[in-house]
Amino acid sequence: MRVSNNGKTTVIDGDEVVVARAASIDMNAPYWEYVGSDGELVRVDVSAHRTNMDVLSRLYQKAYASGRSEDAAGYVRHKARVLALLN
């Protein structure tokens, strides 16, 4: 994930792998769930997350490492919120 700013617009790129993973997910869902490796239900809900770059970075790292489309969807939704705030 790379962030750049030309003085007018903030761009976040270099995240194509994670963004592609979210392509199969319903982005209109309020949250996403999956069964984790420990058998527990994991809910991905970014609605209460603070809209900032630290949170975005953590979501990216989690989505990249997990390979889960649900985690990727959380990252993509939060990325849209951050870009809307910055631009």
Domain residue spans of the chain:
2-86
Tell me if the pTM is above 0.95: no
Q: Provide φ and ψ at 62, rounded to 5°.
A: -65, -45
Residue 11, token pair as written in the block: 């761009």
pLDDT in tens, 2-41: 889 888 888 899 999 999 999 999 999 999 999 999 999 9
Residue from 73, 54, 70 nearest 15 by CA: 73
